[in-house]
Amino acid sequence: MTSTGRNIDGTRVPQVSTLTRRRFVAGAACVAAGLLIGCESTSGSAEVAVIEPYVSPYDWSGLTRDGEKLEYYEDGRLCSRWGIDVSEHQGNDIDWAAVADAGVQFAFARIGNRGATEGALSADEFFFQNAIRAGEAGIQVSAYFFSQALTEDEAREEARFALENLRETEAAGATFAYVAYDHEPVEIEGARANNLSSDQLTANARAFCEVIAEAGYAPMLYGNQRDLLRLASDLRAAYPVWLAEYDVEAPTAPLDFVIWQYTNAGTVPGISTDVDLNVWLEP
Protein backbone atom coordinates (compact mmCIF):
# COMPACT_ATOMS: atom_id res chain seq x y z
CA MET A 1 0.00 0.00 0.00
CA THR A 2 1.55 3.26 -1.03
CA SER A 3 0.33 6.81 -1.51
CA THR A 4 1.22 6.62 -5.16
CA GLY A 5 0.29 3.02 -5.99
CA ARG A 6 1.17 -0.46 -4.90
CA ASN A 7 4.75 -1.51 -4.37
CA ILE A 8 5.25 -5.27 -4.44
CA ASP A 9 8.83 -4.94 -3.32
CA GLY A 10 7.99 -3.83 -1.10
CA THR A 11 -6.78 1.47 18.54
CA ARG A 12 -9.23 3.25 22.55
CA VAL A 13 -10.20 -0.24 21.28
CA PRO A 14 -14.03 -0.17 21.00
CA GLN A 15 -14.91 -3.49 22.60
CA VAL A 16 -12.89 -5.39 20.07
CA SER A 17 -10.92 -8.26 21.48
CA THR A 18 -7.27 -8.40 20.54
CA LEU A 19 -6.57 -11.39 18.34
CA THR A 20 -3.99 -13.85 19.54
CA ARG A 21 -2.35 -16.84 17.96
CA ARG A 22 0.04 -19.62 18.76
CA ARG A 23 3.63 -18.57 18.63
CA PHE A 24 6.62 -20.69 17.86
CA VAL A 25 9.73 -19.84 19.86
CA ALA A 26 12.94 -21.02 18.34
CA GLY A 27 15.64 -22.11 20.77
CA ALA A 28 18.65 -20.18 19.69
CA ALA A 29 21.44 -19.12 22.07
CA CYS A 30 23.60 -16.04 21.69
CA VAL A 31 22.37 -14.63 18.39
CA ALA A 32 23.50 -11.13 17.48
CA ALA A 33 22.47 -9.32 14.32
CA GLY A 34 21.57 -12.61 12.73
CA LEU A 35 25.09 -14.02 13.11
CA LEU A 36 26.46 -16.98 15.03
CA ILE A 37 28.74 -15.95 17.87
CA GLY A 38 30.78 -17.80 20.43
CA CYS A 39 29.41 -18.22 23.91
CA GLU A 40 31.16 -18.99 27.15
CA SER A 41 29.92 -22.16 28.80
CA THR A 42 29.98 -22.62 32.55
CA SER A 43 33.20 -24.57 32.12
CA GLY A 44 34.80 -21.70 30.29
CA SER A 45 35.05 -23.47 26.94
CA ALA A 46 33.78 -21.72 23.85
CA GLU A 47 30.69 -23.09 22.17
CA VAL A 48 29.09 -22.24 18.86
CA ALA A 49 25.40 -21.38 19.02
CA VAL A 50 23.04 -23.31 16.79
CA ILE A 51 20.37 -21.21 15.13
CA GLU A 52 17.21 -23.13 14.44
CA PRO A 53 15.46 -22.39 11.13
CA TYR A 54 12.25 -20.39 11.39
CA VAL A 55 9.12 -22.53 11.70
CA SER A 56 5.74 -20.95 11.02
CA PRO A 57 3.00 -21.34 13.65
CA TYR A 58 0.61 -22.05 10.77
CA ASP A 59 0.13 -25.25 8.78
CA TRP A 60 -0.24 -23.85 5.29
CA SER A 61 -1.80 -27.07 4.01
CA GLY A 62 -4.93 -25.65 5.70
CA LEU A 63 -5.22 -22.81 3.16
CA THR A 64 -8.17 -23.10 0.80
CA ARG A 65 -9.21 -20.87 -2.09
CA ASP A 66 -12.72 -20.18 -3.27
CA GLY A 67 -12.26 -17.97 -6.30
CA GLU A 68 -10.28 -15.02 -4.95
CA LYS A 69 -11.30 -15.64 -1.35
CA LEU A 70 -8.72 -17.28 0.88
CA GLU A 71 -9.54 -19.19 4.07
CA TYR A 72 -7.39 -21.00 6.63
CA TYR A 73 -8.46 -24.14 8.48
CA GLU A 74 -6.96 -26.12 11.35
CA ASP A 75 -8.38 -29.54 12.22
CA GLY A 76 -11.38 -28.79 10.04
CA ARG A 77 -12.14 -25.53 11.89
CA LEU A 78 -12.17 -22.17 10.12
CA CYS A 79 -9.45 -20.04 11.71
CA SER A 80 -9.47 -16.92 9.56
CA ARG A 81 -11.46 -13.91 8.38
CA TRP A 82 -11.41 -12.35 4.91
CA GLY A 83 -10.89 -8.67 4.27
CA ILE A 84 -9.68 -5.78 2.15
CA ASP A 85 -7.89 -2.47 2.50
CA VAL A 86 -8.92 0.67 0.65
CA SER A 87 -7.89 4.23 -0.01
CA GLU A 88 -8.86 7.04 -2.34
CA HIS A 89 -7.38 4.92 -5.13
CA GLN A 90 -10.59 2.83 -5.00
CA GLY A 91 -12.65 5.97 -5.68
CA ASN A 92 -15.71 7.31 -3.90
CA ASP A 93 -18.31 4.88 -5.21
CA ILE A 94 -17.66 1.76 -3.14
CA ASP A 95 -20.91 -0.11 -2.52
CA TRP A 96 -20.18 -1.30 1.00
CA ALA A 97 -23.40 -3.33 1.25
CA ALA A 98 -22.30 -5.31 -1.80
CA VAL A 99 -18.81 -5.70 -0.33
CA ALA A 100 -20.31 -7.14 2.86
CA ASP A 101 -22.62 -9.43 0.89
CA ALA A 102 -19.55 -10.77 -0.93
CA GLY A 103 -18.20 -12.04 2.40
CA VAL A 104 -15.76 -9.30 3.37
CA GLN A 105 -15.52 -9.27 7.16
CA PHE A 106 -12.94 -6.55 7.84
CA ALA A 107 -11.51 -3.54 6.08
CA PHE A 108 -8.58 -1.22 6.63
CA ALA A 109 -9.16 2.35 5.45
CA ARG A 110 -6.22 4.66 4.78
CA ILE A 111 -6.22 7.66 7.10
CA GLY A 112 -3.76 9.62 5.04
CA ASN A 113 -0.12 9.93 4.15
CA ARG A 114 3.00 12.01 4.22
CA GLY A 115 4.16 13.10 0.79
CA ALA A 116 7.06 11.10 -0.53
CA THR A 117 9.00 14.13 -1.79
CA GLU A 118 7.84 17.32 -0.06
CA GLY A 119 6.81 15.59 3.17
CA ALA A 120 3.46 17.34 3.65
CA LEU A 121 0.75 15.54 5.62
CA SER A 122 -2.61 14.97 3.96
CA ALA A 123 -5.79 13.07 4.80
CA ASP A 124 -7.10 10.44 2.42
CA GLU A 125 -9.96 12.01 0.48
CA PHE A 126 -12.38 9.18 1.27
CA PHE A 127 -11.21 7.97 4.70
CA PHE A 128 -14.21 9.43 6.51
CA GLN A 129 -16.84 7.93 4.23
CA ASN A 130 -15.08 4.59 3.86
CA ALA A 131 -14.79 4.11 7.61
CA ILE A 132 -18.40 5.19 8.27
CA ARG A 133 -20.00 3.22 5.46
CA ALA A 134 -18.00 0.05 5.99
CA GLY A 135 -19.03 0.04 9.64
CA GLU A 136 -22.66 0.66 8.73
CA ALA A 137 -22.46 -2.42 6.48
CA GLY A 138 -21.36 -4.56 9.44
CA ILE A 139 -17.70 -4.77 8.46
CA GLN A 140 -15.08 -4.43 11.19
CA VAL A 141 -13.01 -1.32 10.45
CA SER A 142 -9.35 -0.66 11.11
CA ALA A 143 -7.15 2.08 9.70
CA TYR A 144 -3.62 2.64 8.43
CA PHE A 145 -1.32 5.58 7.79
CA PHE A 146 1.25 5.71 5.00
CA SER A 147 4.43 7.11 6.50
CA GLN A 148 7.40 8.75 4.89
CA ALA A 149 8.86 9.94 8.19
CA LEU A 150 12.57 10.65 8.35
CA THR A 151 12.79 10.96 12.13
CA GLU A 152 10.98 9.96 15.32
CA ASP A 153 9.59 13.51 15.60
CA GLU A 154 8.07 13.23 12.14
CA ALA A 155 6.62 9.81 13.01
CA ARG A 156 5.02 11.27 16.16
CA GLU A 157 3.63 14.12 14.05
CA GLU A 158 2.11 11.54 11.72
CA ALA A 159 0.57 9.67 14.65
CA ARG A 160 -1.00 12.85 16.05
CA PHE A 161 -2.38 13.67 12.58
CA ALA A 162 -3.82 10.16 12.36
CA LEU A 163 -5.42 10.53 15.80
CA GLU A 164 -7.12 13.78 14.82
CA ASN A 165 -8.73 12.07 11.85
CA LEU A 166 -9.65 8.95 13.82
CA ARG A 167 -11.39 10.99 16.52
CA GLU A 168 -13.27 13.11 13.99
CA THR A 169 -14.53 9.96 12.29
CA GLU A 170 -15.42 8.31 15.61
CA ALA A 171 -17.52 11.35 16.48
CA ALA A 172 -19.61 10.49 13.42
CA GLY A 173 -20.11 6.91 14.58
CA ALA A 174 -17.09 4.95 13.36
CA THR A 175 -15.12 2.52 15.49
CA PHE A 176 -11.63 1.18 14.85
CA ALA A 177 -10.02 -2.08 15.84
CA TYR A 178 -6.38 -1.39 14.86
CA VAL A 179 -4.21 1.40 13.49
CA ALA A 180 -1.38 0.21 11.26
CA TYR A 181 1.92 1.90 10.50
CA ASP A 182 2.87 1.51 6.83
CA HIS A 183 6.31 2.68 5.71
CA GLU A 184 7.57 1.62 2.28
CA PRO A 185 10.08 2.72 -0.32
CA VAL A 186 8.47 4.75 -3.11
CA GLU A 187 9.53 4.37 -6.72
CA ILE A 188 9.54 8.03 -7.68
CA GLU A 189 12.39 10.47 -8.19
CA GLY A 190 13.26 12.45 -5.09
CA ALA A 191 11.58 10.08 -2.62
CA ARG A 192 12.70 11.39 0.76
CA ALA A 193 12.62 8.27 2.93
CA ASN A 194 13.85 5.44 0.75
CA ASN A 195 17.23 5.05 2.37
CA LEU A 196 16.55 5.02 6.08
CA SER A 197 18.79 2.82 8.18
CA SER A 198 17.19 -0.14 9.93
CA ASP A 199 17.77 1.60 13.26
CA GLN A 200 16.00 4.77 12.10
CA LEU A 201 13.14 2.83 10.52
CA THR A 202 12.68 0.94 13.78
CA ALA A 203 12.82 4.13 15.84
CA ASN A 204 10.22 5.82 13.62
CA ALA A 205 7.83 2.86 13.72
CA ARG A 206 8.23 2.57 17.50
CA ALA A 207 7.55 6.29 17.99
CA PHE A 208 4.38 6.17 15.87
CA CYS A 209 3.05 3.06 17.63
CA GLU A 210 3.77 4.44 21.09
CA VAL A 211 1.75 7.60 20.41
CA ILE A 212 -1.12 5.53 19.00
CA ALA A 213 -1.04 3.14 21.99
CA GLU A 214 -0.88 5.99 24.52
CA ALA A 215 -4.08 7.37 22.95
CA GLY A 216 -5.87 4.07 23.61
CA TYR A 217 -5.72 2.46 20.19
CA ALA A 218 -4.07 -0.81 19.19
CA PRO A 219 -1.11 -0.38 16.83
CA MET A 220 -0.05 -2.74 14.08
CA LEU A 221 2.95 -2.92 11.72
CA TYR A 222 2.54 -3.35 7.95
CA GLY A 223 5.08 -4.23 5.31
CA ASN A 224 6.60 -6.82 3.04
CA GLN A 225 9.16 -9.21 4.42
CA ARG A 226 12.13 -7.13 3.34
CA ASP A 227 10.90 -4.04 5.19
CA LEU A 228 9.52 -5.93 8.20
CA LEU A 229 12.78 -7.82 8.69
CA ARG A 230 14.58 -4.47 8.87
CA LEU A 231 12.59 -3.68 12.02
CA ALA A 232 14.05 -4.78 15.35
CA SER A 233 12.69 -8.15 16.44
CA ASP A 234 11.50 -6.77 19.80
CA LEU A 235 9.32 -4.23 17.95
CA ARG A 236 7.80 -6.93 15.76
CA ALA A 237 7.10 -8.94 18.90
CA ALA A 238 5.45 -5.96 20.61
CA TYR A 239 2.78 -5.32 17.97
CA PRO A 240 0.75 -7.47 15.56
CA VAL A 241 2.30 -7.72 12.10
CA TRP A 242 0.50 -7.40 8.76
CA LEU A 243 2.51 -9.02 5.97
CA ALA A 244 2.30 -8.17 2.27
CA GLU A 245 3.50 -10.99 0.03
CA TYR A 246 2.06 -11.56 -3.44
CA ASP A 247 2.17 -14.25 -6.11
CA VAL A 248 2.90 -17.14 -3.74
CA GLU A 249 0.76 -20.12 -2.77
CA ALA A 250 1.66 -19.63 0.89
CA PRO A 251 3.71 -17.02 2.79
CA THR A 252 7.47 -17.50 2.77
CA ALA A 253 8.47 -14.69 5.16
CA PRO A 254 10.45 -16.03 8.16
CA LEU A 255 8.51 -14.02 10.72
CA ASP A 256 5.30 -14.17 12.74
CA PHE A 257 2.27 -12.22 11.50
CA VAL A 258 -1.51 -12.11 11.97
CA ILE A 259 -2.67 -10.77 8.59
CA TRP A 260 -1.49 -11.82 5.15
CA GLN A 261 -2.13 -9.42 2.29
CA TYR A 262 -1.91 -11.90 -0.54
CA THR A 263 -2.69 -9.79 -3.60
CA ASN A 264 -2.91 -6.16 -4.62
CA ALA A 265 -4.97 -6.97 -7.70
CA GLY A 266 -8.08 -8.59 -6.28
CA THR A 267 -11.67 -8.02 -7.33
CA VAL A 268 -14.65 -7.69 -4.99
CA PRO A 269 -18.28 -6.96 -5.87
CA GLY A 270 -19.08 -3.35 -5.03
CA ILE A 271 -15.60 -2.05 -5.88
CA SER A 272 -14.90 -0.98 -9.45
CA THR A 273 -11.09 -1.09 -9.18
CA ASP A 274 -8.51 -3.65 -8.17
CA VAL A 275 -8.26 -3.96 -4.39
CA ASP A 276 -5.89 -5.54 -1.89
CA LEU A 277 -7.16 -8.84 -0.43
CA ASN A 278 -6.20 -10.07 3.05
CA VAL A 279 -6.69 -13.07 5.29
CA TRP A 280 -6.68 -12.50 9.06
CA LEU A 281 -5.39 -15.60 10.82
CA GLU A 282 -6.89 -16.61 14.17
CA PRO A 283 -6.17 -19.52 16.54
Secondary structure letter of residue 5 according to DSSP: S
Res. 267: pLDDT tops 90: yes
Interstrand relation of 31-32 and 259-266 (parallel, antiparallel or unpaired): unpaired
Res. 15: pLDDT tops 80: no
Mean per-residue pLDDT for 113-135?
Answer: 98
Res. 154: pLDDT tops 90: yes
Confidence (pLDDT) at 51:
79
Confidence (pLDDT) at 49:
66
Element (H, E) at 35: strand 35-36
Mean pLDDT lowest among 20-24, 177-181, 199-203, 206-210: 20-24
Helix/strand/coil for 252: coil
Write the pLDDT tens digit of every residue in 67-83.
Answer: 999 999 999 999 999 99
Confidence (pLDDT) at 186:
95
Mean pLDDT lowest among 40-54, 118-132, 157-171: 40-54
**How much of the chain, in percent, has pLDDT values that exceed 70?**
83
Confidence (pLDDT) at 52:
85
- Going by C-beta distance under 8 Å and a sequence separation of 6 or more, which residues neighbour residue 240? 18, 19, 178, 218, 220, 221, 257, 258, 259
CA distance 28 to 112: 40
Write the pLDDT tens digit of every residue in 125-147.
Answer: 999 999 999 999 999 999 999 99
Confidence (pLDDT) at 2:
56
- The average confidence (pLDDT) of the chain is 87
Q: Which of 104, 106, 103, 108 has the alpha carbon at shortest distance from 90?
A: 108
Mean per-residue pLDDT for 258-278?
Answer: 98
